[in-house]
């Protein structure tokens, strides 16, 4: 029988962790940290939605980072599954230009 720790290393959902809901509006060009895990903790991105205001004239390229690793490079994003292994670092949204981008994410802090 696998332990909770080996499940984490394999990327499986242990069912033992509470989800953290993160809601943010990112407006500045460049990188914006929207979540930083507690000291000594890792995070796993379980679900993310990021989309530009449809009424805006700006259409920024949206890049999603966990720590230093880029996971997405898109103009709109809705992803509903476990999309990362445990990562040591913050959740960062990077916009190629200033705009109003709504971001909702669900994380596990391990």
- Residue 10 within a domain: no
pLDDT 10s digits, 82-102: 677 788 899 999 999 999 999
Q: Mean pLDDT over residues 42-63, rounded?
A: 92
- Residue 53 within a domain: yes
The residue whose two tokens read 């109003």 is 100
pLDDT at 4: 43
We report the CATH number of the domain holding residue 62 as 2.60.120.1330
Structural domains of the chain, count: 1
pLDDT 10s digits, 16-52: 668 899 999 999 999 999 999 999 999 888 899 999 9
- Torsion sign (Cα): 36, 41, 42, 46: negative
Distance CA 97, CA 4 (A): 41
- Residue 1 within a domain: no
Model confidence, pTM: 0.80
């Amino acid at each position: 029988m696998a332990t909770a720790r080996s499940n984490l290393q394999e990327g499986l959902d242990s069912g033992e962790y509470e989800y953290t809901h993160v809601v943010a509006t990112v407006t500045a060009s460049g990188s914006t940290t929207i979540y930083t895990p507690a000291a000594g903790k890792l995070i796993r991105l379980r679900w993310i939605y990021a989309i530009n205001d449809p009424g805006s004239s700006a259409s920024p390229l949206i890049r999603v980072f966990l720590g230093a690793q880029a996971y997405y490079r898109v103009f709109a994003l809705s992803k509903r599954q476990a999309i990362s292994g445990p990562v040591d670092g913050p959740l960062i949204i990077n916009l190629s230009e200033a705009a109003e981008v709504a971001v909702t994410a669900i994380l596990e802090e391990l």
